[in-house]
Amino acid sequence: MGSILELTDAKNKLEDLSGVKIKPGENPYNALIEACHDDPAEIQALYTAHRIRRNAQQKEKFLDTDFRELIIDPYLLRLENPTIEPGFKDTRYCMTFWARPPIHVLELAGEIQKRLKEAAPVHATTLELAFCRTADEIEDIKETIKPAIPTIASYTYQHRTRLVKPIISYDLAAFAVSFLPAAGEPIVSPAPVAPDNAAVLKQGDSYSYHHLRKDMWHQAKAAGIPVESRYIVPSAHITLGRYLTQKDHATPEQRKKWVDAIDEINEWLEREIWGKSDSEFIGEWVVGQEKGIDVRVGNLWYGGGRTILAGEGF
């Protein structure tokens, strides 16, 4: 029998720092939209508040004189170093809807990873996780939602939303590049192929990323699936890496170097990337560009699993 391992979530609470309170039983994404009066600028402001407060909170933890340790993912550690527990298998199965970033966003993520490596080595991975169950439970969920999958997978084709203003967000377990829902910023990403019905673009930024999340939740619920996400926070992010050892953050000097590097990269992003169409890297993501929603099942925590259906891109 394999080890009984503790999830990093147990030590790394992901709380909503935007100030919005979710009402029990309702679509959890409605609360923020209603609190913001369905206004793109107000929605962006609450996403901004969440990530600024969280980064400040986590920076304080890294620099605290009572700092104890990073939160190491015991599953990833065993998968990366099989000598720790030979024959170890990750039996956590999931089903989720992934938004796949276009090439120009992947290039930006790669540049951020390269700059972070100058401060400390990183393990790169990309994941977006909804929930985890046993393999049999996930198979049952897949069969239940199967009739709705074609609509969900291609939903972004006619429901387009922009993400802008990337920065690094981080905590004691991982780090990511996070975006904000657009609110009238100039369009800087490569032009998508014109849709069959051009009216889908006229809504502009009034259809935010949070609206997309709300609609995905509603469609899953309508298909008969009780949605059990790990967390509901105002964040749009791509996980870049997780810590595997303590050695590169063991001393106050190393931790100071790490948070300073993140601050410097975030200043570079704001100065050189935000809103720029002529920069080396583009900091805007129109969700669904190049690839639609990837409906995926299996061991998804670290980019694995398999695709049931990938939606139509534009």
- Per-residue confidence at 130, pLDDT binned at 50, 70, 90? very low
Q: Residue 28 pLDDT > 90, yes or no? A: no
Residue labelled with tokens 């939209």:
33
Over pLDDT 70: what percentage of the chain? 89
pLDDT score, position 299: 86
Note whether residue 143 is domain-resident.
yes
Note whether residue 65 is domain-resident.
yes
- Per-residue confidence at 10, pLDDT binned at 50, 70, 90? low
Note whether residue 3 is domain-resident.
no
Residues 47-87: tens digit of each pLDDT:
999 999 999 999 999 999 999 999 999 999 999 999 999 99
HEC sequence for 54-76: HHHHHHHHHHCCCCCCCCCCHHH
Please enumerate in sequence order all residues whose Cβ is within 8 A of that of 5, keeping only pairs 6 or more positions apart, or say none: 74, 75, 78
Note whether residue 299 is domain-resident.
yes
Structure tokens at 212: 């997309």
Are 289 and 313 in contact by the 8 Å Cβ rule? The answer is: yes
Structure tokens at 186: 């100039």
Structure tokens at 138: 């996930």
Note whether residue 2 is domain-resident.
no
Rounded CA-CA distance 299/125 in Å is: 13
Rounded CA-CA distance 14/173 in Å is: 11
pLDDT score, position 77: 92
Are 96 and 296 in contact by the 8 Å Cβ rule? The answer is: yes
Instruction: Check the CA dihedral 117-122-126-130 and report its sign.
Output: negative
pLDDT score, position 58: 96
Note whether residue 19 is domain-resident.
yes
Domain range enclosing 236: 8-310
| Mean pLDDT along residues 193-213 | 72
| Of the candidates 261, 158, 148, 270, the residue with the CA atom closest to the CA atom of residue 207 | 158
Q: Residue 276 pLDDT > 70, yes or no? A: yes
Rounded CA-CA distance 187/12 in Å is: 36
Structure tokens at 309: 């259906």
Note whether residue 254 is domain-resident.
yes
Over pLDDT 90: what percentage of the chain? 59
Residues 208-230: tens digit of each pLDDT:
999 999 999 999 889 888 777 76
| Mean pLDDT along residues 222-246 | 84
Q: Residue 247 pLDDT > 60, yes or no? A: yes
Q: One-letter amino acid identity for 209?
A: Y
Residue labelled with tokens 């990938």:
310
- Per-residue confidence at 200, pLDDT binned at 50, 70, 90? low
Q: Residue 128 pLDDT > 70, yes or no? A: no
Half-sphere exposure of 238 (CA within 13 A, CB side): 25
| Mean pLDDT along residues 143-157 | 92
Rounded CA-CA distance 240/172 in Å is: 14
Q: Residue 131 pLDDT > 60, yes or no? A: no
Q: What's the structural domain count of the chain?
A: 1
Please enumerate in sequence order all residues whose Cβ is within 8 A of that of 225, keeping only pairs 6 or more positions apart, or say none: 141, 144, 145
pLDDT score, position 135: 84
Note whether residue 250 is domain-resident.
yes
